[in-house]
Chains A and B, each alone.
Chain A
């Protein structure tokens, strides 16, 4: 169809021959030379049209015509810079928002992880029921071994945890990011050291595990990328590790650069630690095995483990999920909601441009009619409109890239750090393809109605400019307008709900006062502190030194720090309640120095807090949080109860008598439920790491570096983290919610502006069309306010219809939105009302301007208006 079998010249000469033959025949019948020629041409009909049909029959998509359409389109667009500018800008905003949002989706959700056959990588997690919801949790070593050795679905599996290690023995300790892992990491991730060797299975055992494989970046920075690093020794936490290999340059695990990979070094007792959940497990599916099959396999194994070890595994389940999916957990539904929202913005932009085109089509009716009369087919007219629309959309798509680029800069800069791979967003090929696709689809969308209308028009009625067609155009415009208002209403309501939810969370009391408190993580090498006494002494020294800093009012230590993302939970027994181990309740456990509660402003409800006398060797004491007291001792008799947690995080066992009840702390963030918690005095636990909390009068932030120096003076091998202000931790804990709120807010604002512009455009246009009518009304004595209210009423009718439809749609949205909301219902009446009021207000302004202009019209000018 696209080939050109017959030259147009050949066809033209055939027609010439035809006319000549016909003329000759007529001459033979006695007509004059001149008359015969004219008659022959007349009986042939439209030569041009015949030739054109010859072209079109040959190729539906003729490059000649396309080129013609493009040139003509360019001229039309250039001749109406106002129209072109508004249309391109509107579309660019709509497409740009989509491009930016899709870039985020692409980077976070769609881009395959950078491991070979990454879709075979599956995360296996222990499942743990907390507050009615079953959530994935870390795994214990014995469970891992049983899964690994009994499954039939995975070709290999490994367990790991990440940790920070101090690079010591070379002056001030340097923080290394380490992955502590079993040897199965290499076959599972299908990655191998570029120099040196992998871990052996033997090196999984304690004692044989003092070897290290370096990350490429660390090797380059500290060993100059020299191969003789292999065989050298580095000191981690004051213990020697032999370097046996270097990982490839582009290897990132887990998803980020790590400095060192260390074998896990399980000791002989590991198989008894079935309750110690601290490992992450990844496996590679055998070819052809689905995640569902792997799950069946694992669930069966776990059922057997529950039967065999009811005490430790009785309450645990297991779940395999594609790793890429597990990484984005609840981020995924939020991003998809946002993608849907941004799609609505694009639709609003399309409706706006469609309206512009319809208005212009009325102006161009004569032109189109002329073209039809001169022989252009319907198809040709439609194609012309499509070509112009595509050109608009492609220009807008190109311009949108600039807008998206800026948006992405902002997203990378201000986006939350805990959305994986968000920082890697960029306008890559996938995104550009998407933008092109969206541009083309929007062109088809916004050109659809104008194209359909223009092709249906009859030449005669067009030339006469009959009124019916413009009434029909008016109807199309009103439908588009109602749709725009409805979509804007939905977006505004959605954004409003997120704002309410966010403001509600922000106003929640975290249970402590984070203002003016600096936090600093400190951990010391076990090798230097062989017993709890040495550790107690270390913390005493550290706190004493810091208290001497100018401006410091108090210094205390706690672990795990609230909002740090770390937590520690354990089951416990209550003296006098004989409950088998598998039915024991569990609670969160924290270790703190005596005045921690005063420093952070955590209120004492009952009894006493810790004192300086609650030291190692003294009677064991515990504090309990309000929620825990209610939950475990509903009779209000918590104080005096003797609790035993068994082994804890430090050298000592955690058991003692409850001496007081303290206020609840939202450890997991403002949007997470409050967990029942016990506190143990830090000195009674023998802990080798804790977070210092420093309250100071003036600017605590300035104390960070001096504080670090003081700590390092005590033990230069101690690992000291970066000082962080507590209130910024609190803000970060709502980072994702803030991010979603800002994005949806931006989309809603965009929608509002576009809808207002659309409304303004349509009302202005209808005023322009009714100029004469309005002039007559004024001349006949209509008052200005009557004209004003007439025009306003005309516009606000659409708005009210749109608002009603939008309210309905917003109510249908509640299931989509509910997951993103805390403390506010998705059908919150106040939010819907406020959203409607905002939209109505903007709509009134958008209609008032053209209405006011209509009311001020001079009737004489209006009547003369053509």
Chain B
């Protein structure tokens, strides 16, 4: 048993998964499993992403036109569906990121003052 699994992982806040997916795709097209992996690794395994939950989110983003998808071949020669950011998705990412930063900064300030 690794220490990692003993530690309780953070559950994702509602709505943040969309932001993380858009952010991950900024480095290029990626398939579902790759996105899940990337989020987990980039967050140093702090975040718990149930892989299954990823797909409704992907679908939602696709319907809104922020990402597009097509079938392709993965690095290890597997067929997979690759998602990439669209122009409006990129814009959305910018907006969401700003919003998130303002939110966390505000919450941080409140917590800080409470603690102090």
Contacts and interface: CB of A to CB of B under 8 A. Distances in A.
A21 B52 contact: no
B74 A46 contact: no
Contacts of A49: 52
Interface string B25-58: 0000001111011000000000000111101100
A50 B33 contact: no
Interface stretch (B16-24, B77-85, B89-97, B100-108): B77-85
Given A21-B33, A21-B74, A57-B59, A43 B51 contact: yes
Contacts of A25: 33, 37
A15 interface: yes
Looking at chain B's contact residues, the main secondary structure is helix
B98 interface: no
A18 B56 CA distance: 14
Contact of A54 (B32, B36, B59, B78): B59
B55 A54 contact: yes
A57 B55 CA distance: 11
A45 B56 CA distance: 13
A812 interface: no
Contacts of B81: 14, 17
Contacts of B32: 14-15, 17-18
A50 B56 contact: yes
A44 B52 contact: yes
A45 B31 contact: no
B31 A21 contact: yes
B78 A21 contact: yes
Contacts of B31: 17-18, 21
Contacts of B76: 21, 24
A548 to B, nearest CB: 98
B60 interface: yes
A716 to B, nearest CB: 90
A61 to B, nearest CB: 17
Given A21-B31, A21-B74, A57-B60, A15 B55 contact: yes
A53 interface: yes
Q: Which residue, B37, B56, B60, has most C-beta atoms of chain A within 10 A?
A: B56
A625 to B, nearest CB: 86
B35 to A, nearest CB: 10
Nearest to B52: A45
A55 to B, nearest CB: 11
B25 to A, nearest CB: 16
B60 A18 contact: no
A20 to B, nearest CB: 6
Nearest to A14: B81
Interface string A79-101: 00000000000000000000000
A181 B91 CA distance: 80
B51 A18 contact: yes
B78 A17 contact: yes
Interface string B50-76: 111101100110000000000000101
Interface in A599-619: none
A53 B74 CA distance: 26
A22 interface: yes
Contacts of A44: 50-52
Contacts of A57: 56, 59-60
A829 interface: no
A25 B36 CA distance: 12
Given A50-B56, A57-B60, A17 B80 contact: yes
A21 B51 CA distance: 12
Contacts of B60: 57
A861 interface: no
A17 B52 contact: no
Contact of B80 (A18, A46, A47, A54): A18
Looking at chain A's contact residues, the main secondary structure is helix
B72 to A, nearest CB: 11
Interface in A14-46: 14-15, 17-22, 24-25, 43-46
Nearest to B75: A21
Contacts of B74: 21
Nearest to A51: B55
Given A43-B51, A45-B50, A45-B51, A21 B80 contact: yes
B55 A22 contact: no
B38 to A, nearest CB: 12
A185 B86 CA distance: 74
B51 A53 contact: no
B80 to A, nearest CB: 5
Contacts of B78: 17, 20-21, 24
Nearest to A45: B52
A17 B79 contact: yes
Contacts of A11: 55
Given A25-B37, A45-B50, A45-B51, A14 B56 contact: no
Contacts of A47: 52
A748 to B, nearest CB: 54
A49 B78 CA distance: 25
Contacts of A19: 33
Q: Which residue, B31, B32, B76, B78, has most C-beta atoms of chain A within 10 A?
A: B32
A394 B3 CA distance: 61
A21 B76 CA distance: 9
A374 B96 CA distance: 35
A54 B62 CA distance: 12
Contact of A50 (B34, B36, B52, B79): B52
A50 B80 contact: no
A45 B33 contact: no
A16 to B, nearest CB: 10
A45 B53 contact: yes
B30 to A, nearest CB: 11
B56 A54 contact: yes
A24 B76 CA distance: 9
Interface in A51-78: 53-54, 57
A794 B52 CA distance: 51
A50 to B, nearest CB: 4
A150 B99 CA distance: 75
Given A18-B31, A18-B33, A25-B37, A53 B56 contact: yes
B84 to A, nearest CB: 15
Contacts of A43: 50-51
B78 to A, nearest CB: 6
Contacts of A18: 31-33, 36, 51, 80
A19 B51 CA distance: 9
Contacts of B37: 22, 25
A563 B32 CA distance: 89
Nearest to B76: A24
A687 B34 CA distance: 109
Contacts of B36: 18, 22
A4 to B, nearest CB: 13
Interface string A436-470: 00000000000000000000000000000000000
A14 B52 contact: no
Nearest to B56: A53
A491 B31 CA distance: 68
Nearest to B63: A57
Nearest to A28: B76
Contacts of B52: 44-47, 49-50
Nearest to A20: B78
Interface in A529-547: none
Nearest to A53: B56
Nearest to A44: B51
A57 B57 CA distance: 10
A8 to B, nearest CB: 12
A25 B40 CA distance: 14
A13 B80 CA distance: 8
The 7 tightest CB contacts between A and B, nearest first, are A45-B52, A21-B33, A44-B51, A50-B52, A45-B50, A18-B33, A14-B81
Given A18-B32, A45-B52, 9 more contacts: A14-B81, A17-B81, A18-B31, A21-B31, A21-B33, A25-B33, A44-B50, A45-B53, A47-B52
8 contacts: A18-B80, A21-B74, A22-B33, A45-B51, A45-B53, A50-B53, A54-B59, A57-B60
